[in-house]
Chains A and B, each alone.
Chain A
Amino acid sequence: ETGVTQTPRHLVMGMTNKKSLKCEQHLGHNAMYWYKQSAKKPLELMFVYSLEERVENNSVPSRFSPECPNSSHLFLHLHTLQPEDSALYLCASSHELVGQGNTGELFFGEGSRLTVL
């Protein structure tokens, strides 16, 4: 496999469920990201990891919990979500951290489409 792989592609869950999104990158990158994509809104950066250490948490509600066990894997644990959390969750990776003037490229997965009932 190559690139960034996300599973599941689609997820429907109730507000009391606990589920997890998984992301795996086969590019040897050092940084990984979770973005939320909602209709009519810009991509929202949720979490950033560099070399398995969290470096950014943009005031994301605690019902979203990230985990980065190694540089190739990133999880987003979900619990007691709200209907407004329904969105496309995109995982991305980059060789080094972007946003620091290094003109790096983000490589995105295909996303996990989440629906909260």
Chain B
Amino acid sequence: TQLLEQSPQFLSIQEGENLTVYCNSSSVFSSLQWYRQEPGEGPVLLVTVVTGGEVKKLKRLTFQFGDARKDSSLHITAAQPGDTGLYLCAGDSGGGADGLTFGKGTHLIIQP
């Protein structure tokens, strides 16, 4: 069974601070996605990374896929209250109709 470990589980910081959350596995994934889920809503895709070492930027969010395609990080610069939510990473093993493997998520709270 492939597992994705996300850390930290919970993070509460002040508006304007920077932060990084991590998604790690001992397994290789053909691609990895990050979703954000706000209270009372379903997860929404933020980004998909495919190539080892790939870096993608989405405004103040920077996503990186590890060289070995086993891990990923999400860095937020100058966090804002609107960034509050549950951040989920999901990996595609590429091996069959297993859907995606999800991590438990990082609960992020940005305090004004």
Which residues of B line the A interface, CB within 8 A? 4, 30-31, 33, 35, 40-45, 48, 50, 88, 90, 92-105
Secondary structure at chain A's binding surface: helix, strand, loop or mixed? loop
Which residues of A line the B interface, CB within 8 A? 4, 33, 35, 40-43, 45, 48, 50, 55-56, 90, 92, 97-103, 105-111
Asked if B100 and A106 make an inter-chain contact with CB atoms under 8 angstroms apart, the answer reads: yes
Asked if A108 and B42 make an inter-chain contact with CB atoms under 8 angstroms apart, the answer reads: yes
How many A-B residue pairs lie within 8 Å, measured between CB atoms? 76
Contacts of A48 in B (CB 8 A): 97, 99
Query: A109 touches which one: B42, B103, B105 (CB < 8 A)?
Result: B42
Contacts of B92 in A (CB 8 A): 98-103
Contacts of A43 in B (CB 8 A): 43, 88, 90, 102
* Known interface pairs A105-B45, A106-B43, A108-B42; A42-B33 also in contact (CB < 8 Å): no
B38 to chain A, nearest CB (A): 10
Which residue of chain B has the shortest Cβ distance to A50 in the bound complex? B97
Bound Cα distance A63, B73 (Å): 38
